[in-house]
Structure 1
């Protein structure tokens, strides 16, 4: 049975240290060569696997090289060009809208502020955080995808259920210098070991500190104080 550490901060630090050793090459798995490609790939990745996105964007990025290319295409054509992506019809509209706003308001460039990015169609805080981190080297938050959402709760780092409230919880306990890496580590671990439907706890390097592996904890991680 896993026994969590006494505070969430200590728990988060140990989680990061162990996963760094387990996944030394942890990194973003979407393929892109510039900021526009990154933005498009992340928008397409919502509720879709990165592997599928990479398959589709291999051809998409050859056809659409600038924001104007997306703006000038029809929603129907874009939807057809990203067929196979989850919600391709909606995302075709997002891509056209993004292209138009980038051309009209940002000289065709991807902006570098949270507010400007989240003003784009189909772009929420999670997507904006990814673009800022990997496109502009700006880290001002933690990307909370489905893996981070699931694992951070299982590991006792938050009791919140929604990404918008999970993120500030994690920012309080994960060292700021590890915010970007934290996401990739949890994604790798979620894919390899701690799946949504089943978790291979016998193979997990965090099993001995995971509160999901025990009944009653000796520590209240919500308050950070020993019982």
Structure 2
């Protein structure tokens, strides 16, 4: 890892992000742990906005894990046919429902969550955060993959697993649960792919990209 990354006090540099976005709700409009599990699985390689639109009708028919466990493929397809990679996702939901069976059995540890079909580390980190469970990693979505290298906190620019690992090495555990979502919100609102809003960015003075591009840092 770059010496600059290792020697910079990133916990201090990124604290303004935590202050701005701490406890900010995930863009998925869920109402329970069951719903967030289903929705993060469906949103993978799709959009949060799309999943938010179809969720009310889906959860009206399948309000909990017990109902989902009784659903057949045809019933699920009626709601999810427009979701990207719906065949795989329907199979994963059916497998999860057959394993978990009841909302009270939804796991809240990284090991148990990633053991479920269709749930990777990114989804597990989201579920843990929204469940109020102890963070075991840092959520790295597409926004974090883009923004974290811009900030200069990581040298990896594409691999989410490597980005997460580098961030975990540099940041204290007490920041893990919030920093991924904070960077994601920054990427959605301020640090856009083109024309990032340096003048209102809370971490611009510590941002490698801002300084390299002569922004108002």
Structure number with greater CO (CA < 8 Å, separation at least 6) is 1
Change beyond 3 A, Cα 1:144–1:24: closer
Distance 1:22 1:35, change over 3 A: closer
Matched, 1:34 2:32: yes
Q: Is residue 140–residue 163 contact of structure 2 (8 Å, CA) maintained in 1?
A: yes
| Counterpart Cα distance in 2 of 1:35 and 1:9 | 38
Mapped to 1, the partners of 2:193 and 2:89 lie a distance apart of 25
* Other-structure match for 1:159: 155
Q: Secondary structure at the match of 1:112?
A: coil
Q: Structure 1 residue 52 and structure 2 residue 53: aligned?
A: no
Which residue in the other structure is 1:121 paired with?
Answer: 117
Which aligned pairs between 1:124-135 and structure 2 lie closer than 5 A? 124-135=120-131
1-side partners of 2:103 and 2:71: how far apart?
18
The structure-2 alpha-carbon separation of the partners of 1:8 and 1:83, relative to structure 1 and needing over 3 Å to count, comes to farther
Structure-2 residue corresponding to 1:207: 204
Is the 1:78–1:95 Cα contact (8 Å) retained in structure 2?
no
SS in 2 for 1:199: coil
Distance 1:130 1:24, change over 3 A: closer
1:96–1:126 CA distance, 2 compared to 1 (3 A): same
TM, length-normalised to structure 2: 0.83
TM-score by length of 1: 0.79
Task: Give structure 1 stretches of 5+ with no counterpart.
Answer: 217-227
Matches within 5 A, 1:56-205: 56-103=54-101, 109-135=105-131, 137-160=133-156, 161-205=158-202
Do the aligned partners of 1:71 and 1:96 also contact (CA within 8 Å) in 2?
yes
Q: Deviations over 1:22-57 (max 9, x none)?
A: 446633222223221121011112122222222211
Greater fraction of residues in helix: 2
Q: 1:9 to 1:122 in 2, by over 3 A?
A: farther
| SS state at 2:26 partner | coil
Query: What secondary structure is seen at the aligned counterpart in 2 of 1:142?
Result: coil
**Aligned-residue offset at 1:186:** 0.8
Moved more, 158-167 or 197-206: 197-206
Give 1:72 deviation, angstroms: 2.3
Of the structure 1 ranges 194-203 and 176-185, higher mean CA displacement relative to structure 2 is found in 194-203
Report the number of matched residues: 210
SS of equivalent to 1:159: coil
